[in-house]
Structure 1
Amino acid sequence: MTTFHAFLGCSLDGFIAGPAGELSWLTDFDEVLGDTGFDAFFASIEALVMGRVTYEAMLQFDPAFYRGVPIHVLSRTLDEGAHPNLGRSTVTVHTDLPALVDALAAAHVTRAYADGGRTVQALLAAGLLADLVLTRVPVLLGEGVPLFGRLPAPMPAQLESVRQLPAGAVQSTYRFGTASPE
Protein backbone atom coordinates (compact mmCIF):
# COMPACT_ATOMS: atom_id res chain seq x y z
CA MET A 1 0.00 0.00 0.00
CA THR A 2 1.22 3.48 -0.84
CA THR A 3 1.37 6.09 1.89
CA PHE A 4 1.36 9.77 1.00
CA HIS A 5 3.53 12.36 2.75
CA ALA A 6 3.66 16.14 2.33
CA PHE A 7 6.59 18.49 3.00
CA LEU A 8 5.51 22.06 2.34
CA GLY A 9 6.34 25.65 3.07
CA CYS A 10 3.66 28.26 3.60
CA SER A 11 3.31 31.86 4.60
CA LEU A 12 2.35 32.81 8.13
CA ASP A 13 -1.20 33.35 6.90
CA GLY A 14 -1.43 29.90 5.25
CA PHE A 15 -0.64 30.44 1.57
CA ILE A 16 1.66 28.15 -0.44
CA ALA A 17 1.95 30.58 -3.36
CA GLY A 18 1.16 34.20 -4.02
CA PRO A 19 -1.92 35.45 -5.92
CA ALA A 20 -0.30 34.79 -9.32
CA GLY A 21 1.29 31.51 -8.19
CA GLU A 22 4.60 33.19 -7.38
CA LEU A 23 7.03 31.43 -5.04
CA SER A 24 9.80 34.04 -4.76
CA TRP A 25 8.71 34.93 -1.20
CA LEU A 26 9.41 31.30 -0.25
CA THR A 27 12.53 30.65 -2.32
CA ASP A 28 14.08 33.84 -0.90
CA PHE A 29 14.10 32.09 2.49
CA ASP A 30 15.79 28.90 1.23
CA GLU A 31 19.31 30.21 1.80
CA VAL A 32 18.68 31.34 5.39
CA LEU A 33 16.61 28.38 6.60
CA GLY A 34 19.51 25.96 6.75
CA ASP A 35 18.79 22.24 6.95
CA THR A 36 15.03 21.82 6.91
CA GLY A 37 15.23 18.03 6.61
CA PHE A 38 13.94 18.14 3.03
CA ASP A 39 16.90 16.23 1.57
CA ALA A 40 16.42 13.35 4.02
CA PHE A 41 12.67 13.41 3.38
CA PHE A 42 13.15 13.40 -0.40
CA ALA A 43 15.58 10.48 -0.14
CA SER A 44 12.83 8.49 1.63
CA ILE A 45 10.22 8.71 -1.13
CA GLU A 46 9.80 6.59 -4.25
CA ALA A 47 7.45 8.80 -6.28
CA LEU A 48 6.33 12.41 -6.46
CA VAL A 49 2.63 13.26 -6.81
CA MET A 50 1.43 16.73 -7.81
CA GLY A 51 -1.43 18.48 -9.53
CA ARG A 52 -1.32 20.17 -12.92
CA VAL A 53 -0.77 23.69 -11.56
CA THR A 54 2.23 22.57 -9.49
CA TYR A 55 3.54 20.51 -12.40
CA GLU A 56 3.36 23.45 -14.78
CA ALA A 57 5.11 25.68 -12.23
CA MET A 58 7.82 23.07 -11.67
CA LEU A 59 8.56 22.88 -15.41
CA GLN A 60 10.47 26.14 -14.85
CA PHE A 61 12.87 24.51 -12.36
CA ASP A 62 16.01 22.50 -13.05
CA PRO A 63 14.88 18.94 -13.94
CA ALA A 64 17.86 17.55 -11.98
CA PHE A 65 15.95 18.64 -8.83
CA TYR A 66 13.73 15.55 -9.17
CA ARG A 67 16.75 13.20 -8.98
CA GLY A 68 15.18 10.61 -11.27
CA VAL A 69 12.16 10.07 -9.00
CA PRO A 70 9.03 9.21 -11.04
CA ILE A 71 6.51 12.06 -11.20
CA HIS A 72 2.76 11.43 -11.19
CA VAL A 73 0.45 14.31 -12.10
CA LEU A 74 -3.25 14.54 -11.23
CA SER A 75 -5.05 16.43 -14.00
CA ARG A 76 -8.39 16.50 -15.73
CA THR A 77 -7.06 18.75 -18.50
CA LEU A 78 -3.75 17.12 -19.51
CA ASP A 79 -3.74 13.98 -21.63
CA GLU A 80 -3.66 10.82 -19.53
CA GLY A 81 -0.57 8.63 -19.74
CA ALA A 82 3.13 9.17 -20.27
CA HIS A 83 4.50 12.68 -20.89
CA PRO A 84 8.05 13.83 -21.70
CA ASN A 85 10.56 13.16 -18.94
CA LEU A 86 11.77 15.91 -16.63
CA GLY A 87 15.48 15.17 -16.64
CA ARG A 88 15.77 11.52 -15.55
CA SER A 89 12.26 11.53 -14.03
CA THR A 90 9.41 9.89 -15.91
CA VAL A 91 6.12 11.81 -15.95
CA THR A 92 2.73 10.10 -15.95
CA VAL A 93 -0.63 11.91 -15.87
CA HIS A 94 -3.67 10.40 -14.12
CA THR A 95 -7.19 11.79 -14.46
CA ASP A 96 -8.33 10.98 -10.93
CA LEU A 97 -7.17 9.88 -7.50
CA PRO A 98 -8.27 6.20 -7.80
CA ALA A 99 -6.28 5.84 -11.05
CA LEU A 100 -3.23 7.38 -9.37
CA VAL A 101 -3.51 5.12 -6.30
CA ASP A 102 -3.89 2.05 -8.53
CA ALA A 103 -0.86 3.02 -10.65
CA LEU A 104 1.34 3.56 -7.59
CA ALA A 105 0.23 0.23 -6.12
CA ALA A 106 0.97 -1.53 -9.42
CA ALA A 107 4.46 0.05 -9.39
CA HIS A 108 4.97 -1.16 -5.78
CA VAL A 109 5.50 2.41 -4.53
CA THR A 110 5.29 2.46 -0.74
CA ARG A 111 6.08 6.17 -0.03
CA ALA A 112 4.94 9.05 -2.23
CA TYR A 113 5.60 12.76 -1.78
CA ALA A 114 2.42 14.82 -2.21
CA ASP A 115 3.10 18.34 -3.44
CA GLY A 116 0.73 21.19 -4.26
CA GLY A 117 -2.32 22.58 -2.52
CA ARG A 118 -5.11 20.82 -4.39
CA THR A 119 -3.29 17.48 -4.32
CA VAL A 120 -2.69 17.68 -0.58
CA GLN A 121 -6.32 18.75 -0.09
CA ALA A 122 -7.59 15.81 -2.18
CA LEU A 123 -5.45 13.32 -0.27
CA LEU A 124 -6.61 14.76 3.05
CA ALA A 125 -10.26 14.61 2.00
CA ALA A 126 -9.82 10.97 0.91
CA GLY A 127 -8.09 10.09 4.19
CA LEU A 128 -4.87 9.16 2.41
CA LEU A 129 -2.35 11.71 3.71
CA ALA A 130 -0.21 10.03 6.38
CA ASP A 131 1.69 13.09 7.54
CA LEU A 132 2.58 16.67 6.83
CA VAL A 133 5.81 18.54 7.52
CA LEU A 134 4.86 22.20 7.40
CA THR A 135 7.39 25.03 7.51
CA ARG A 136 5.75 28.39 8.23
CA VAL A 137 7.84 31.24 6.88
CA PRO A 138 7.46 34.60 8.66
CA VAL A 139 5.86 36.55 5.84
CA LEU A 140 2.24 37.61 5.37
CA LEU A 141 0.92 37.48 1.81
CA GLY A 142 -2.67 38.55 2.44
CA GLU A 143 -3.90 36.48 -0.50
CA GLY A 144 -2.75 33.67 -2.71
CA VAL A 145 -3.07 29.90 -3.08
CA PRO A 146 -4.25 28.47 0.24
CA LEU A 147 -2.70 25.31 1.65
CA PHE A 148 -6.00 24.01 2.98
CA GLY A 149 -9.50 23.96 1.54
CA ARG A 150 -12.82 22.28 2.19
CA LEU A 151 -12.87 18.91 3.90
CA PRO A 152 -15.81 16.54 4.28
CA ALA A 153 -15.41 16.67 8.07
CA PRO A 154 -12.97 17.98 10.68
CA MET A 155 -9.60 16.27 10.26
CA PRO A 156 -7.80 15.66 13.57
CA ALA A 157 -4.02 15.80 13.40
CA GLN A 158 -1.48 14.67 15.95
CA LEU A 159 1.46 17.00 16.48
CA GLU A 160 4.66 14.94 16.39
CA SER A 161 7.32 17.64 16.58
CA VAL A 162 8.01 21.36 16.35
CA ARG A 163 11.31 23.09 15.75
CA GLN A 164 12.42 26.64 15.16
CA LEU A 165 14.49 27.28 12.07
CA PRO A 166 16.64 30.34 11.32
CA ALA A 167 14.98 33.61 10.27
CA GLY A 168 11.93 32.93 12.47
CA ALA A 169 10.52 29.99 10.51
CA VAL A 170 8.75 27.23 12.45
CA GLN A 171 8.52 23.65 11.24
CA SER A 172 5.79 21.35 12.56
CA THR A 173 5.21 17.70 11.77
CA TYR A 174 1.68 16.31 11.98
CA ARG A 175 0.36 12.76 11.58
CA PHE A 176 -3.21 12.12 10.45
CA GLY A 177 -5.22 9.32 12.04
CA THR A 178 -7.15 8.63 8.85
CA ALA A 179 -4.11 7.33 7.00
CA SER A 180 -2.47 3.99 7.53
CA PRO A 181 0.66 4.28 9.64
CA GLU A 182 3.89 3.04 8.16
Structure 2
Amino acid sequence: MPNHVYIATSLDNYIADRHGSLQWLFDVPNPTGSDYGYADFMAGIDAVVMGSGTYEVVLGFDAWPYEKPCYVVSSRHRSAPPRMTGEVHFLSGTPAEIVAAAHARGHHSLYIDGGKLITSFLRADLIDELTLSRVPVLLGGGSPLFSGLDEMLKFEHLGTEVFGALIKSRYRRVR
Protein backbone atom coordinates (compact mmCIF):
# COMPACT_ATOMS: atom_id res chain seq x y z
CA MET A 1 0.00 0.00 0.00
CA PRO A 2 1.23 3.54 -0.68
CA ASN A 3 3.23 5.66 1.72
CA HIS A 4 3.26 9.34 0.78
CA VAL A 5 5.33 12.39 1.62
CA TYR A 6 3.73 15.84 1.24
CA ILE A 7 6.13 18.56 2.32
CA ALA A 8 7.31 22.07 1.55
CA THR A 9 10.96 23.02 1.26
CA SER A 10 12.90 26.20 0.80
CA LEU A 11 14.90 26.62 -2.40
CA ASP A 12 17.96 25.39 -0.49
CA ASN A 13 16.07 22.25 0.62
CA TYR A 14 15.28 23.03 4.26
CA ILE A 15 11.98 22.12 5.90
CA ALA A 16 12.48 24.27 9.02
CA ASP A 17 14.71 27.24 9.72
CA ARG A 18 17.73 27.32 12.07
CA HIS A 19 15.39 27.68 15.07
CA GLY A 20 13.06 24.85 14.02
CA SER A 21 10.39 27.36 12.99
CA LEU A 22 7.96 26.94 10.11
CA GLN A 23 6.91 30.60 10.11
CA TRP A 24 8.57 31.15 6.74
CA LEU A 25 5.85 28.92 5.21
CA PHE A 26 3.13 31.31 6.36
CA ASP A 27 4.96 34.32 4.94
CA VAL A 28 4.34 33.17 1.34
CA PRO A 29 1.78 35.45 -0.34
CA ASN A 30 -1.47 33.56 -0.87
CA PRO A 31 -4.03 36.13 -2.08
CA THR A 32 -6.58 33.48 -3.11
CA GLY A 33 -6.37 31.53 0.17
CA SER A 34 -5.44 28.33 -1.69
CA ASP A 35 -4.66 25.18 0.26
CA TYR A 36 -2.31 24.20 -2.61
CA GLY A 37 -4.13 20.88 -3.12
CA TYR A 38 -3.66 19.74 0.48
CA ALA A 39 -7.35 18.83 1.05
CA ASP A 40 -7.36 16.67 -2.08
CA PHE A 41 -4.15 14.98 -0.90
CA MET A 42 -5.57 14.32 2.57
CA ALA A 43 -8.78 12.88 1.06
CA GLY A 44 -6.67 9.97 -0.23
CA ILE A 45 -4.87 9.33 3.07
CA ASP A 46 -5.97 6.91 5.81
CA ALA A 47 -3.62 8.15 8.55
CA VAL A 48 -0.70 10.44 9.35
CA VAL A 49 2.62 9.09 10.65
CA MET A 50 4.83 11.79 12.16
CA GLY A 51 8.10 11.96 14.02
CA SER A 52 8.41 13.34 17.53
CA GLY A 53 9.99 16.62 16.37
CA THR A 54 7.10 17.29 14.01
CA TYR A 55 4.64 16.34 16.75
CA GLU A 56 6.22 18.91 19.09
CA VAL A 57 5.93 21.61 16.42
CA VAL A 58 2.29 20.71 15.70
CA LEU A 59 1.46 20.84 19.42
CA GLY A 60 2.37 24.53 19.26
CA PHE A 61 -0.38 25.23 16.70
CA ASP A 62 -3.61 26.84 17.89
CA ALA A 63 -5.57 23.68 17.00
CA TRP A 64 -4.75 20.07 16.11
CA PRO A 65 -4.74 20.17 12.28
CA TYR A 66 -5.55 16.52 11.50
CA GLU A 67 -8.94 14.88 11.19
CA LYS A 68 -7.33 11.57 10.24
CA PRO A 69 -5.87 9.11 12.76
CA CYS A 70 -2.30 9.99 13.67
CA TYR A 71 0.66 7.82 14.65
CA VAL A 72 3.42 9.60 16.54
CA VAL A 73 6.76 7.79 16.33
CA SER A 74 8.46 8.60 19.61
CA SER A 75 10.19 7.03 22.56
CA ARG A 76 9.64 10.24 24.60
CA HIS A 77 5.92 10.84 24.13
CA ARG A 78 3.29 8.37 25.28
CA SER A 79 0.14 10.44 25.65
CA ALA A 80 -1.53 13.41 24.04
CA PRO A 81 -2.43 16.61 25.88
CA PRO A 82 -6.10 16.80 26.94
CA ARG A 83 -6.81 19.67 24.49
CA MET A 84 -6.07 17.42 21.50
CA THR A 85 -8.91 15.94 19.53
CA GLY A 86 -8.81 12.95 17.26
CA GLU A 87 -7.28 9.52 17.27
CA VAL A 88 -3.58 9.59 18.25
CA HIS A 89 -1.39 6.51 18.74
CA PHE A 90 2.17 6.55 20.07
CA LEU A 91 4.60 3.91 18.89
CA SER A 92 8.22 3.16 18.18
CA GLY A 93 10.04 0.70 15.96
CA THR A 94 11.48 0.34 12.51
CA PRO A 95 9.68 1.85 9.53
CA ALA A 96 8.45 -1.64 8.57
CA GLU A 97 7.09 -2.19 12.10
CA ILE A 98 5.37 1.20 12.06
CA VAL A 99 3.71 0.44 8.71
CA ALA A 100 2.64 -2.99 10.00
CA ALA A 101 1.08 -1.40 13.12
CA ALA A 102 -0.88 1.08 11.00
CA HIS A 103 -2.00 -1.64 8.60
CA ALA A 104 -3.17 -3.77 11.55
CA ARG A 105 -5.56 -0.91 12.43
CA GLY A 106 -6.84 -0.74 8.85
CA HIS A 107 -4.76 2.28 7.78
CA HIS A 108 -2.99 1.53 4.49
CA SER A 109 -2.46 4.85 2.72
CA LEU A 110 -0.05 6.71 5.03
CA TYR A 111 1.17 10.29 5.05
CA ILE A 112 4.76 10.22 6.39
CA ASP A 113 5.76 13.57 7.91
CA GLY A 114 8.94 14.85 9.56
CA GLY A 115 12.45 15.16 8.13
CA LYS A 116 14.18 12.41 10.12
CA LEU A 117 11.21 10.05 9.84
CA ILE A 118 10.99 10.59 6.08
CA THR A 119 14.70 9.81 5.75
CA SER A 120 14.31 6.58 7.76
CA PHE A 121 11.39 5.52 5.55
CA LEU A 122 13.41 6.34 2.42
CA ARG A 123 16.34 4.28 3.72
CA ALA A 124 13.92 1.37 4.21
CA ASP A 125 12.53 2.01 0.70
CA LEU A 126 9.03 2.54 2.11
CA ILE A 127 8.10 5.80 0.36
CA ASP A 128 5.98 5.33 -2.76
CA GLU A 129 5.14 8.94 -3.66
CA LEU A 130 6.63 12.35 -2.95
CA THR A 131 4.81 15.66 -3.24
CA LEU A 132 7.32 18.47 -2.86
CA SER A 133 6.38 22.12 -2.79
CA ARG A 134 9.17 24.64 -3.38
CA VAL A 135 8.81 27.94 -1.57
CA PRO A 136 10.84 30.83 -3.05
CA VAL A 137 13.01 31.55 -0.03
CA LEU A 138 16.59 30.68 0.89
CA LEU A 139 16.85 29.86 4.59
CA GLY A 140 20.63 29.42 4.61
CA GLY A 141 20.43 26.63 7.18
CA GLY A 142 18.04 24.62 9.28
CA SER A 143 16.55 21.14 9.07
CA PRO A 144 17.40 19.58 5.70
CA LEU A 145 15.15 17.25 3.76
CA PHE A 146 16.55 13.91 2.53
CA SER A 147 19.88 14.04 4.32
CA GLY A 148 22.00 10.97 4.84
CA LEU A 149 20.58 8.52 2.32
CA ASP A 150 22.73 5.45 1.82
CA GLU A 151 21.97 4.96 -1.86
CA MET A 152 20.35 6.58 -4.86
CA LEU A 153 16.57 6.21 -5.13
CA LYS A 154 14.88 6.85 -8.47
CA PHE A 155 11.54 8.57 -8.89
CA GLU A 156 9.30 9.25 -11.89
CA HIS A 157 7.89 12.77 -12.33
CA LEU A 158 4.07 12.68 -12.30
CA GLY A 159 3.33 16.36 -12.72
CA THR A 160 3.92 19.92 -11.58
CA GLU A 161 1.47 22.65 -10.58
CA VAL A 162 2.18 26.33 -10.03
CA PHE A 163 0.31 28.14 -7.26
CA GLY A 164 1.50 31.74 -7.53
CA ALA A 165 4.96 31.73 -5.96
CA LEU A 166 4.79 28.07 -4.87
CA ILE A 167 5.69 25.19 -7.22
CA LYS A 168 4.41 21.72 -6.34
CA SER A 169 5.73 18.56 -8.02
CA ARG A 170 4.68 14.92 -7.57
CA TYR A 171 6.95 11.90 -7.98
CA ARG A 172 6.43 8.11 -7.84
CA ARG A 173 9.13 5.70 -6.68
CA VAL A 174 10.62 3.58 -9.47
CA ARG A 175 11.75 0.20 -8.20
Q: Same fold (TM over 0.5)?
A: yes
One-letter identity of the residue aligned with 1:152: D
Match of 1:91 among 85, 88, 91: 88
Structure 2 portions without partners, runs of 5+ = none
Task: Sort the Cα spacing of 1:88 and 1:6 in 2 relative to 1 into closer, same or farther, 3 A.
Answer: same
Indicate the larger mover: 155-164 or 52-61: 155-164
Q: Which structure: greater helix fraction?
A: 1
Match for residue 134 of structure 2? 136
Q: Distance in 2 between matches of 1:98 and 1:111?
A: 14
* TM-score normalised to structure 2 length: 0.90
Match of 1:112 among 104, 110, 124: 110
Match of 2:173 among 157, 167, 176: 176
Query: Residues 46-125 of structure 1: matches in 2 within 5 Å?
Result: 46-67=46-67, 69-79=68-78, 83-84=80-81, 87-96=84-93, 97-125=95-123
- Partner SS, residue 65 of structure 1: coil
Q: Once the 2 structures are TM-superposed, how far is the Cα of residue 40 of structure 1 from its aligned partner?
A: 0.6
Percentage identity across aligned positions? 35
Match of 2:159 among 158, 161, 165: 161
Q: Distance in 1 between matches of 2:82 and 2:108?
A: 22
Structure 1 portions without partners, runs of 5+ = none
* TM-score normalised to structure 1 length: 0.87
Q: Once the 2 structures are TM-superposed, how far is the Cα of residue 35 of structure 1 from its aligned partner?
A: 4.2
Q: Distance in 2 between matches of 1:45 and 1:77?
A: 26
Q: Which runs of 4+ in 1 moved over 4 A?
A: none
Deviations 1:113-137, CA, capped at 9 Å, x for gaps: 1111111111111111110110100
Q: Distance in 2 between matches of 1:61 and 1:36?
A: 19
Aligned residue-pair number: 173
Deviations 1:60-102, CA, capped at 9 Å, x for gaps: 12435212x11101123334xx545664322211111233122
